Amino acid sequence: MRSQINLGRVFGIRIGLHYSWFIIALLIVFSLSAQFHTSNPEWGDGVILALAVATAILFFISLLLHELAHSVVAKSRGLPVREITLFALGGVSQIEKEPTSAKMEFWMAFVGPLTSAGIGLLCLALSRVSGAASSPPTAMVSWLGYINLALAGFNMIPGYPLDGGRILRALIWWKTGDVERSTRMASRVGQAVALIFIGFGILRFFEGAGIGGLWIAFIGWFLLQAARESYLQIGLKRAIEGVSVSEVMTSDCPTDSRNMNL
């Protein structure tokens, strides 16, 4: 998942957007506008639209902070981070090397949900002390509080390569001392979780949930593919580790006369 739009650098890490980000950004703005219209129609269309846009921007900033937490911990452990990409399903940190220990893997994974939970609790605390329960700022920070707590909870699901799946891999790795076995087990759990998402999403769709059900199924499909590819990638890295080019190249290269007519 590479970005097409460069937003600059934070802590030396490139931040970018994938084109699919605009789809989810628009969906969130429309959803928030409808929600605010239903709960507080007296605010007016202009205020509601501006509030929805501001809330969506702050939500993506909170997603960026979640990914930055992963990346900063990775860089502090000597792992290079290519970039952070925001896309339709959230964000992803492009960390170019695998952690070298279970402890490193655990903290790299756990710091993301911890950051989201901290942001969520802070926003809910601000909504409690704001005074005006039905004011636009209170509605904004309240929504941000609940959505960040939900984001933290979702990422703790043990579905590799979600943060919870990486935490599971770190725990198995710590217990067994075998990174390949822990990756294989975490990947299988991740695929099982993904199939549950797909089945539940399809069920919800036929129960009348509409796009919401299909969205859950799509998330499950994405997790299923990501779990498979993450495991294959790690297996490939392990297979070619320490192998030189001379061991896999073809040295018998036939040649033709330079005067041969093509």
Residue 102 has a pLDDT of 92
**CA–CA dist 82, 74 (Å, integer):** 11
Q: Report in angstroms the alpha-carbon separations of 1 from 148, 151, 223.
A: 23, 20, 14
The per-residue pLDDT for 108 is 93
Q: What is the mean pLDDT of the chain?
A: 87
Residue 94 clears pLDDT 90, i.e. is over it: no
User: In terms of pLDDT, which residue wins out, 255 or 165?
Assistant: 165
Residue 12 predicted with pLDDT over 90:
no
> In the prediction, which pLDDT does 174 show?
93
Return the structure tokens found at 11: 């802590």
CA atoms within 13 A on the CB side of 28: 23
Please report the pLDDT score of residue 109 as a whole number.
93
Q: Which residues of 130-146 are buried (b: 16+ CB within 10 A; e: fewer)?
A: eeeeeebebbbbbbbbe
Whole-model pTM? 0.82
Residue of higher predicted confidence among 255 and 72:
72
The pLDDT value given to residue 113: 94
Q: Contact, 81 vs 71, CB < 8 A?
A: yes
pLDDT given for residue 93 in this prediction:
87
Calculate what percentage of the chain has a pLDDT beyond 90.
33
Hey, which residues are catalytic here? Answer: 67
User: For residues 236 and 1, which has the higher predicted lDDT (pLDDT)?
Assistant: 236
| pLDDT, position 1 | 65
Quick: pLDDT tens for 189-244. 888 999 998 999 899 888 887 777 888 888 888 888 888 887 787 778 778 878 88
Q: Is the pLDDT of residue 131 over 70?
A: no
3-state DSSP helix/strand/coil percent for the chain, to nearest 5?
Answer: 70, 10, 20
Residue that wins the pLDDT comparison between 75 and 89: 75
pLDDT per residue over 133-162, tens digit each?
Answer: 678 888 899 999 999 999 999 999 888 888
Report the C-alpha dihedral over residues 223, 192, 213, 93, rounded to 10 degrees.
-20
pLDDT digits (tens, 9 = 90+) for 55-73: 999 999 999 999 999 999 9
What pLDDT does residue 219 have?
85
| DSSP label of 89 | T
The pLDDT assigned to 132 comes to: 63
